[in-house]
Structures are given as structure tokens and as C-alpha cells.
Structure 1
Amino acid sequence: MSAAAARPARPRRSVLYMPAANARALEKAKAIDADALIFDLEDAVAPDAKEAAREGACAAASSGEYGYRELTIRCNGLDTPWGRDDIRAAGAAAPSAVVIPKVSSAAHLAAVSDLLDTAGAPDSMRIWAMIETPAGIAHAREIAGFERTDAVVMGTNDMAKELHATITPDRAALVPHLATCLVAAREAGVTALDGVYNDIRDADGFAAVCRQGADLGFDGKTLIHPSQVDPANEAFSPSLDELDFHRQVIEAFEAAVADGRGVVTVDGKMVENLHVDEARRAIALADAIAQR
């Protein structure tokens, strides 16, 4: 199991990509209610702006000006002219994690980890591994289980491209592969983040995909626009009604155990140990959200 599994979970319902070449966007991010930010050096940055973006991302990550928001930096791939320098610079800046695109294997992550160590990154600094290629899907278990992995991030656009698949409203072509990666994350005890939704004008479509991701079991969603933050936070948070039911489950089960019974009924539903575990997980998440 990953070393990340031993650490308490933190809310990662909304994880917003911010283009690190855009100083105004980096400033605006300080007031956006996202659980986590990804300062992006990859897709959102033109080649001639890569080095300036790297400086901006590292300065932002080490500024201490983003409050409760978890800060990460998405580096360029190791197969690009910028990837290794990105990782070394991020290691020195020491955000919560580096986000690595198109991870193909545990060996890929070992190379990233070595670069972080060379840069003097703290042992607490993690890797968020993007799974977006056939190789990544095929090696999802070893990627999620790598000792420095703290999250697996679905790169659904590249995944669809590499698979020659079409992204339909129900994402039918991608769901089997999303599930494969989710199982790997759950086995390793790391966060699983769903991929982005491309149409920022389609609020209903976005809400539906958030519900699907939450129903599948993802912890949160990566986002491309601030308008998506509040709907994602809502979709991946337990509702007040759910929390009330979870508290009833725990109270009823504890009373049943005290009476020597292992099964109890709450609102006509049979409750066992597994339901209590889920209730406690949901309440712990709600408490973590409240403490941000």
C-alpha cells in the first residue's frame, strides 16, 4: 500500500487548473473556493512562455498566500525539453505535490521521485499521477501503489484520443477505464480525481458528469474554469440529509453492538459494519470540509 494511504484524507472535491503563465489568473485563484489548485506548466502554456510560467508557478506555490487551498504544480513530461527542469524547480518550491502527465509505469514515477530528491524536495512532497494513455491504464495498479503517489488523476481528453474513443454525455466508452483506475486508487488508499469537462457553458451537462463521477466513487473532479468549482464542491460533498442518516446509522449500530446484536435497521434499511464504515468516512469528510 502507498505511504499516502496512512495520512488523513483531505477534501479534494474541486481541483482547478490555473495557467501559470497568466499572472492575473494566479492572483484570482487566491479568492476561488477550490479545495486544490494545479498551477499548469503543460497544456495551458505556449512553448515560449514555459520558463516564465515555471517561475510564476514556483513563486505562487511558495508564497503562503493561498490559504486552505492545496497547491500543486503540473510539470511538462519527461520527454519534453522542460520536464526535468520543471520537476527540479517544483521540488525546490515544495508545493504539496507535482502533477505528472501521461504516467506510464512505476519506473516513470521513480524517475520523477529521483529528480525531486535531487532538488531537495521534502519527503512529504507527493506525486499526483495522471493516467491518460493505454500504458497508464494497463499499469494503473503499480502507478497508484507507488510509494510517493498521493492521487491518480484522470486525463480523459488524452485518454479518449489515445483510445480512439468518443466522449459522449454518458462517457460510456471511458467508464470501464475510469473504473479500472478507481479500483487501483482504492486498493492503494490514494485519492482518485475524475477528468475535466470541456464545455464551460453546459451547466447541466457538467452537473450530470459530476454526479456520475461521484456515483462511481471518485473523490473529486479536475476543473478548467472557476464557474465549475461550486457545482463540483456540492456534488462531491455529503448532503445534510445524508449526514443525518449517517449519524443515525452510527448511533443505532453502536446501541445494537452494546446489546450484543451485529445487525440493525434504520429507516427500514439493514445496517451492517460496512455501512458504519461508510458513515464514518462521510462524516470525517464533512468535518474536514468545515475545518478548511
Structure 2
Amino acid sequence: MTRRARPYRSVLYVPASNARAMEKVKTLPIDAIIFDLEDAVAPDQKIPARATLATALKEGGYGKRQRIVRINDLSNQWGTADAEAVAQMDCDAVLLPKVESAAQVEALAQITKDLPIWAMMETPLGMLHAAEIAAHNTLEGMVMGTNDLAKELQSRFRADRLPMQAGLGLCLLAAKARGVTIVDGVYNAFKDADGLRAECEQGRDMGFDGKTLIHPAQVAVANESFAPSNDEVELATRQIAAFEEAEAAGTGVAVVDGKIVENLHVVTAREILAKAEAIAALAT
């Protein structure tokens, strides 16, 4: 499975200090889990949470879900010890908060070695340095921290997220230029399914690979929004067939539904089918 095909439709935050929550996520149809040692864990629970998380990961049972651990910032009293502990855990990646430079990614890589790194993109400086961050050879993914970004921007909430479009766009460009996975920020009103769906659809239209979530009630909407629809799969199948038929006939021109189909459309069509197949494989 290629990195672009690997589904990250639903990425759920789970407190690493909550053993019950870490057990429950084993039953949820999510693509990835962020086990959180940072914001979701109280200061007096930071150290015990490492051991709780290590035990949960060792016991396993998370199936094909990607297991990502968010540590504390390396500049505070817990970050370095978090990184050292995560380097020994059975996880798929480590997530570094408030990344603003490639140097921060490198500092973490010196501790976690070959473990893939994900970067929280949540400050104006991080947005401005997104290209250099995405270019680091250990970086595998970016996570938008839209709550922190809104705080830093001093912006008002708008359903269209106009105030943060520049930051979202810079990170998207950086991620796509380097083949890095990028998932959208959280939607805070977890009981508002319509609002969540609208924001998921906006994020999917922009090019995000999925959505970070704060509640299990949000999973179904995110999974549906970021998966290829039946219509998209059907169209992709017809585009590939028409293009291959035109090539075989030596005509060089394929037409589907009155529209020219070129090689670039076929590339996209194949990616749609690969994503659909990968999603189906996760369910087995």
C-alpha cells in the first residue's frame, strides 16, 4: 500500500492516561489513533501516563489502525523523557507539538531514530516554515492544530474558516509537494453532525487526507466524507477503461460523459480506486 493510498479518514485523539478509553478505541472503525501525552493529560499524570500507554501498546489489539503518540514539547520538563519512552514503544509514529522549524524535527529524530515523525502545525511561524518542515527525511505526516492557530491569529470563528485559509493552504502545499500525509484540525462541537460534515467536506475538497477527531460520535461522518463515494469509484473505473481502450485503438483521445480524459485524469482515477481498495482492506 502506497502512502497516498493509506487511509487516514478518521484520526481520533485518546488520552494516554485513560486505560479504559485506550481499550474502547479497539472497537471503533477509525483509521488512526493519536495517543495523547500532551494536552489531554494533567501535569500530575504525565509520568504515569507513559507507563499506562506503554502497557496498552504492548498488549496490542489495535488491528490495522495506525498508532501515533503525541508527546510533550521537547522544550518542557516532560518532552525529552516522553520521546525516549516512545522510542521504545510499539507504535507507528511520534507526533511533535507546535513544530516551527525543521531543526525541531531533527532534534526529535536524534532521540527517536528511525521512528517516523508527524508534526503538529499550529502556529503562524509553523505555517511560514511548513515547506522546510515537510522536507525533513523522517517526516511522514502533518496534523493541523486549528484551535491553537485560531488563538495565535486572534481570529473569530467562521464556518467557512476564512481566517485560517492561508495557513491551511501553506501546509497543504508543503505536504503535497513532499508526499507527506496531512490531516485537518478538530471540530469542537462534537454533537453538531451537520457542522462537522460541512467542515469535513471543505477539508476533503481542499485536499486533506482526513480529519482529527475528539469524540467517537464524529467517526462515521469523517469516514464517509473522506472516502471515495460510489459515484467517484464508478466514474474512475469508466475513465480508466475508456483511456485504455483509446490507447489500444491508437486514437489517443478518450471521452467520458462528454469530457476529455487525459493521463492526469487516469492517475487520479487510479488513486481513487487504490484508496477505496485500501479502505475495504481495513474493514476485513
User: Per the shorter chain, which TM-score range?
Assistant: over 0.9
Q: Give the deviation of 1:262 after TM superposition.
A: 3.0
Match for residue 282 of structure 1 among 260, 272, 275: 272
Q: Distance in 1 between matches of 2:208 and 2:63?
A: 25
1:229-265 Cα offsets, whole Å, 9 max, x none, are: 1110000000111101100000000111122233311
Q: Distance in 1 between matches of 2:259 and 2:131?
A: 34
Q: Give the deviation of 1:58 after TM superposition.
A: 2.1
What SS does the aligned partner of 1:291 have?
helix
State, as a whole percentage, how many aligned pairs show the same letter.
Answer: 53
Match for residue 38 of structure 1 among 34, 37, 45: 34
Say whether residues 1:249 and 2:239 are aligned partners. yes
Provide the alpha-carbon RMSD of the alignment. 1.4
What SS does the aligned partner of 1:173 have?
helix
Q: Distance in 1 between matches of 2:102 and 2:181?
A: 17
Flag structure 2 segments of 5+ consecutive residues without an equivalent: none
1:253-289 Cα offsets, whole Å, 9 max, x none, are: 0111122233311011221111101100010001111
Q: Distance in 1 between matches of 2:194 and 2:270?
A: 31
Mark the CA change 1:13 to 1:134 in structure 2 (over 3 Å): closer, same or farther: same
Q: Distance in 1 between matches of 2:117 and 2:215?
A: 23
Q: Distance in 1 between matches of 2:248 and 2:266?
A: 15
Q: Give the deviation of 1:8 after TM superposition.
A: 6.1
Q: Which residue of 1 aligns with 2:200?
A: 210
Match for residue 223 of structure 1 among 201, 209, 213: 213
> How many residues are paired up?
282
Q: What TM-score comes out, normalization by structure 2 length? A: 0.96
1:158-183 Cα offsets, whole Å, 9 max, x none, are: 01111112231110111121011001
- Asked whether the equivalents of residues 152 and 192 of structure 1 are also in contact (C-alpha less than 8 Å), the reply is yes
Q: Give the deviation of 1:55 after TM superposition.
A: 1.3
Q: Distance in 1 between matches of 2:251 and 2:157?
A: 48
What SS does the aligned partner of 1:193 have?
strand
Q: Distance in 1 between matches of 2:10 and 2:252?
A: 37
Q: Distance in 2 between matches of 1:263 and 1:154?
A: 41
Q: Give the deviation of 1:80 after TM superposition.
A: 1.2
Q: Give the deviation of 1:15 after TM superposition.
A: 0.2
Q: Distance in 2 between matches of 1:95 and 1:17?
A: 15
Q: Give the deviation of 1:7 after TM superposition.
A: 4.9
Q: Which amino acid aligns with 2:257?
A: D
Q: Which residue of 2 aligns with 1:3?
A: none
Q: Give the deviation of 1:62 after TM superposition.
A: 3.0
Flag structure 1 segments of 5+ consecutive residues without an equivalent: 1-5, 118-122
Say whether residues 1:92 and 2:82 are aligned partners. no
Q: What TM-score comes out, normalization by structure 1 length? A: 0.94
Q: Which residue of 2 aligns with 1:120?
A: none
